[in-house]
């Protein structure tokens, strides 16, 4: 049986919760065939878990992209792209692929770390990636950087940022309020270019949510490859990540990854969708 082919252009999170590891596990859970073009390798200091980001040579990234694209790709996701050159290479690859199913997760920082990967990356994402995005999935910080508004703190500010990101070329936007937004529920804003929707689920009290953003965006990607509409894709992704967070667990004293396969094993928490 032929499977839909999903490609992530992303970094390796050696701890396994985020990055291309999250993407591949999520692609598998959605019944798609996952492939990877690796951009960077993230390692952690065993004492204290500080992150180190090591880029791969860009010629090697290009060879991986050429390999994957030659098979005919149904959907592409981008994750951690640490330099402006890598962002440009990813943009060229997406254009070359011809697929409209493009999910841009504009990763700027690792959760728990506060240093942006490279300040020039935001402009490069605006130039090379947002115009290609069927969906982009910034968290609050990333939305504020892309929109140039500063980090949104309210639903109204999220709407303003989403409109600006839409003007930059992304066809649809999900701004993840996550647990950072001061709402009772875990609330994300979905803008399809015309209408705004709130996607809400129970806020999980634990901090075991490492990889939640990657898992959400990879779910959207696989859903688009499988033929779902953008709205259906983001709603299922919210269910998938809510289940994964509800079953997050402690890998060690420092990090708690989500359980990527939780939805198929335990079912998903209720997600409500409200047009606003
Ligand atoms: N504590 C939580 N409980 C429930 N959902 C959460 C929680 N934290 C994050 N989420 C959800 O996980 C997804 C990823 O959001 P977030 O963690 O903010 O992204 P990122 O990992 O990119 O910073 C969003 O759908 C968000 O609403
Ligand atoms: C390689 C890689 N990509 C992406 C991320 C972002 O992860 P999250 O899904 O928590 O936003 C991380 C965080 O550690 C990472 O290591
Ligand atoms: Mg993220």
* Cβ < 6 A, ligand 2 pocket: 10-13, 18-19, 42, 79-80, 107, 110-111, 210-214
- pLDDT surpasses 80 at 109: no
Q: Please tell me the predicted confidence (pLDDT) of residue 178.
A: 85
Record the tokens describing residue 128, joined without a space: 């090379």
pLDDT, mean over the chain = 95
Q: Which tokens belong to 259? A: 């359980």
| Residue having the nearest C-alpha atom to atom 10 of ligand 2 | 211
Predicted confidence band at 180 (pLDDT cuts at 50, 70, 90)?
confident
Give CA 141 to chain center in angstroms: 14
pLDDT of residue 110: 63
CB atoms within 10 A of CB 151: 15
Decide: helix, strand or coil at residue 264: helix
Q: What spacing in Å lies between the alpha carbon of 80 and ligand 2's midpoint?
A: 7
* Residue 233 to residue 32: CA distance in whole angstroms: 14
Dihedral sign from CA coordinates of 207, 247, 239, 236: positive
Tell me the DSSP string of 31-53.
Answer: T-EEEEEEEEEEEE-TTT--EEE
pLDDT of 260 > 90? The answer is yes
What are the tokens at 91?
């943009």
For the whole model, what pTM was predicted?
Answer: 0.97
Q: Does position 253 have pLDDT exceeding 80, yes or no?
A: yes
Compute, in angstroms, the gap from residue 77 CA to the centroid of ligand 3. Answer: 13
Tokens of 115: 């240093």
Average pLDDT over residues 133-144: 96
pLDDT per position as a tens digit, 15-39: 999 999 999 999 999 999 999 999 9
Residue 273 has pLDDT above 60, yes or no: yes
Gyration radius of the chain over CA positions: 17
pLDDT in tens, 111-128: 555 667 687 999 999 999
Residue 84, burial from CB neighbour count under 10 angstroms (0-12, 13-18, 19+): middle
Q: What pLDDT does residue 115 have?
A: 63
pLDDT in tens, 40-98: 999 999 999 999 999 999 999 999 999 999 999 999 999 999 999 999 999 999 999 99
CA distance 133 to 178: 21
pLDDT above 70: residue 187:
yes
d(CA 26, CA 13): 14
Q: What lines the ligand 1 site, CB under 6 Å? A: 111, 139, 176-180, 186, 188, 201, 203-204, 209, 212-213, 216, 238, 241-242, 245
Grade residue 182 by pLDDT with cuts at 50, 70 and 90.
confident
């Amino acid at each position: 049986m032929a499977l839909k082919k999903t490609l992530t252009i992303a970094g390796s999170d050696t701890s396994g919760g985020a990055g291309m590891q999250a993407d591949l596990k999520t692609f598998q859970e959605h019944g798609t065939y996952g492939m990877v073009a690796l951009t960077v390798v993230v390692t952690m200091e065993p004492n204290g878990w500080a992150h180190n980001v090591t880029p791969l040579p860009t010629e090697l990234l290009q060879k991986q992209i050429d390999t994957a694209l030659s098979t005919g790709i149904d959907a592409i996701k981008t994750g951690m792209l640490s330099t402006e050159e890598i962002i440009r290479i990813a943009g060229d690859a997406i254009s070359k692929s011809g697929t409209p199913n493009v999910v841009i997760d504009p990763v700027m920082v690792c959760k728990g770390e506060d240093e942006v990967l490279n300040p020039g990356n935001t402009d490069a994402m605006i130039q090379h990636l947002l115009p290609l995005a069927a969906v982009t999935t910034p968290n609050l910080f990333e939305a504020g950087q892309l929109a140039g508004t500063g980090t949104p703190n309210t639903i109204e500010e999220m709407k303003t940022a989403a409109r600006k990101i839409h003007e930059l070329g992304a066809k649809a936007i999900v701004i993840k309020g996550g647990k950072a937004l001061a709402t009772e529920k875990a609330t994300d804003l979905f803008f399809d270019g015309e209408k705004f929707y709130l996607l809400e689920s129970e806020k999980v009290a634990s901090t075991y949510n490492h990889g939640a953003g990657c898992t959400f965006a990879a779910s959207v990607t696989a859903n688009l490859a499988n033929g779902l509409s953008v709205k259906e894709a983001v709603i299922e992704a919210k269910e998938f990540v809510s289940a994964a967070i509800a079953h997050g667990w402690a890998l060690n004293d420092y990090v708690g990854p989500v359980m990527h396969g939780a939805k198929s094993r335990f079912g998903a928490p209720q997600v409500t969708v409200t047009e606003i």
